[in-house]
Amino acid sequence: HENMLATAAKYGPLVRIGPNDLLCTDPETLRRMSAVRSRYTKGVFYETGRIIPGCNNIGCERDEKRHKALRAKMGGAYNGRENGSRGFEGSIDRQVMNLVALIEKKYISTPGKLRPFDLCAKAHFFSLDVISDASFGKAFGFLVEDRDLHRFIEINDSAVPIMNILQAIPSLTGVVYRWPFNLALPKDGDGVGFGRLMGLAKRCVEERLHPDAKPGQDMLQAFINGGMTYDELVQHMFVQMERIFPGIFATITSVAGSITTAAAIRHTFLAIVSTPFSISSNLVSRPVITDAEAQSLPYLQAVIREGRRMWPPVTGLGSKQVPKGGDLICGYPIPEGTQVSHNYSGIMRLKEIFGEDADAFRPERWLEVGGNEEQLRAMSSALELAFGNGKYQCLGKRIVLMEMGKILFELLRRYNFALMDPQHPIKSSSGVFWVGSDLILRLTKR
């Protein structure tokens, strides 16, 4: 994140970062590369998203026709229609209330009792339980247990440095699948980590496809109704859980998963508890605000936008490949086959779009441009690039924004937050994704 910011500030919108690799901080170029009719394709970076040798998922599929077909089969799952009358709101609301119950039981501080609350861990638990509830009709139970089940988080965090190496040198991905390195790969019989994840995915699919099984009201059922085969379901339900928990072979195009949603939650909360903030809660539903109500609160939406802008959850390269015949980028002729990467971090701090104070967390910027439609459109368009756009837009965008609105509002409605260590508020680093820990807060009731 910091290196990308510094690179854009020093060298401008197009920088050569490898023999065949460019880093682009020009929003218009990135939009054009991912447009529906663009001749650009996914770059070699996406090879690191392959989970099973010889099998491509929607994240690593570089063939345009197969990618489009997979999106068509999976797209229906992300509208929430298979998830009951309230769509994804039911899943999110249940986990909001589970988090509130956990806080009320264990983490409310009083004048005579200090009970530190680690928002990093709880944000991850919340996101894991939301997406598992929506995907399989039942949450994994991280919030109820209040612990890192199957060591998912521990193993994920330890794998992120390897992911960073693979994204920088994608050719190494093939080596991992060869003997003797493949002996260390996770297997569906493992009791912890990614092997456990594989086993869960396979079991969920087999149970649902059993002749006596009843149709579910979840994303798995939507995938089945979309026409996915058994092999596709097994792989893509594992991918779905990998989106919950991106690991060494993460699907790097989704921000619907817990690691990205949790990063957005924790960084936005860090900014909020470090900045004066107020919000009215008199005219909204209980026990949990509806998505429509959250969307209607301008300052809440400004806070969510500003949090995503300051710390875009996905900071990986996400390269696209220049098509046959080459292209002209930022005034430079670029040969075909060149890998052009996205500098999301740099785009979100462009002063010509977000103002001279673009390095500051200031939600009011989104409200002050209300009368300037052109400026607001430029800011919003740049911000949305972090979700991808066009033919590569994140399928889970709606879920992420719904989670953010509900969890931020409900926690701020109920509790006061104070940093335990203002000088060292959080431990965080970024590579493909943000990894964070130790955002320790003192919570008191409002």
CA 64 – CA 79 distance, rounded (Å): 23
What is the model's pLDDT at position 69? 92
What integer is the mean pLDDT of 246-261?
A: 36
pLDDT at 441 over 50: yes
Q: Name the band, by pLDDT with cuts 50, 70 and 90, for residue 246.
A: very low
pLDDT at 53 over 80: no
Q: Name the band, by pLDDT with cuts 50, 70 and 90, for residue 194.
A: low
What is the model's pLDDT at position 258? 45
What integer is the mean pLDDT of 377-387?
A: 94
What is the model's pLDDT at position 262? 59
What is the DSSP pairing of strand 320-321 with strand 434-437?
unpaired
HSE-CB for 290 with a 13 A CA cutoff:
8
pLDDT at 126 over 80: yes
From 108-117, 184-193, 350-359, the region with the lowest mean pLDDT: 184-193
Higher pLDDT, 84 or 249: 84
Higher pLDDT, 263 or 439: 439
Mean pLDDT, rounded, of the chain: 85
Burial class of residue 397 in the structure, from the number of CB atoms within 10 Å of its CB (0-12 exposed, 13-18 middle, 19+ buried)? middle
Q: Name the band, by pLDDT with cuts 50, 70 and 90, for residue 261.
A: low
Q: Name the band, by pLDDT with cuts 50, 70 and 90, for residue 256.
A: very low
HSE-CB for 322 with a 13 A CA cutoff:
21
What is the model's pLDDT at position 179? 61
What is the model's pLDDT at position 252? 28
The three-state DSSP-derived secondary structure of the chain is: CHHHHHHHHHHCCEEEEECCEEEECCHHHHHHHHCCCCCCEECHHHHHHCCECCECCCCCCCCHHHHHHHHHHHHHHHHCHHHCCCCHHHHHHHHHHHHHHHHHHHCECECCECCCEEHHHHHHHHHHHHHHHHHHCCCCCHHHHCCCHHHHHHHHHHHHHHHHHHHHCHHHHHHHCCCCHHHHCCCCCCCCHHHHHHHHHHHHHHHHHCCCCCCCCCHHHHHHHCCCCHHHHHHHHHHHHHHHCCCCCCCCCCCCCHHHHHHHHHHHHHHHHCCCCCCCCCCCCCCCCCHHHHHCCHHHHHHHHHHHHHCCCECCCCCEECCCCCEEECCEEECCCCEEEECHHHHCCCHHHHCCCCCCCCCCHHHHCCCCHHHHHHHHHHHHHHHCCHHHCCCCHHHHHHHHHHHHHHHHHHEEEEECCCCCCCEEEECCEEEEECCEEEEEEC
- Sorted by where each begins, the domain ranges of the chain are 2-445
The crossing angle, in degrees rounded to 10, of helices 27-34 and 373-384 is 60
pLDDT at 377 over 60: yes
What integer is the mean pLDDT of 192-221?
A: 85
pLDDT at 277 over 80: no
From 168-177, 251-260, 374-383, the region with the lowest mean pLDDT: 251-260
Domain 2-445 class, CATH top level: mainly alpha
What is the model's pLDDT at position 255? 30
What is the model's pLDDT at position 352? 96
Q: Name the band, by pLDDT with cuts 50, 70 and 90, for residue 185.
A: low
What integer is the mean pLDDT of 77-98?
A: 88
What integer is the mean pLDDT of 99-119?
A: 97
pTM: 0.86
Higher pLDDT, 170 or 352: 352
Q: pLDDT of 131-145, one tens digit each?
A: 889 988 899 899 999
pLDDT at 278 over 80: no
pLDDT at 46 over 80: yes
CA 267 – CA 263 distance, rounded (Å): 6
What is the model's pLDDT at position 209? 94
What integer is the mean pLDDT of 381-404?
A: 91
What integer is the mean pLDDT of 262-281?
A: 63
Nearest to 46 by CA among 314, 245, 255, 320: 320
**Cα–Cα separations (whole angstroms), residue 396 to 167, 255, 260, 291, 387:** 22, 7, 11, 15, 9
What integer is the mean pLDDT of 105-122?
A: 95
Q: pLDDT of 403-423, one tens digit each?
A: 999 999 999 889 998 889 988
CB 53, CB 347: distance < 8 Å: no
Nearest to 247 by CA among 341, 164, 129: 164
**Cα–Cα separations (whole angstroms), residue 244 to 127, 142, 339, 438:** 7, 12, 28, 21
What is the model's pLDDT at position 64? 95
Q: Name the band, by pLDDT with cuts 50, 70 and 90, for residue 251.
A: very low
CA 410 – CA 427 distance, rounded (Å): 25
55 marked among binding-site residues: no
| Token code pair at residue 148 | 């890192």
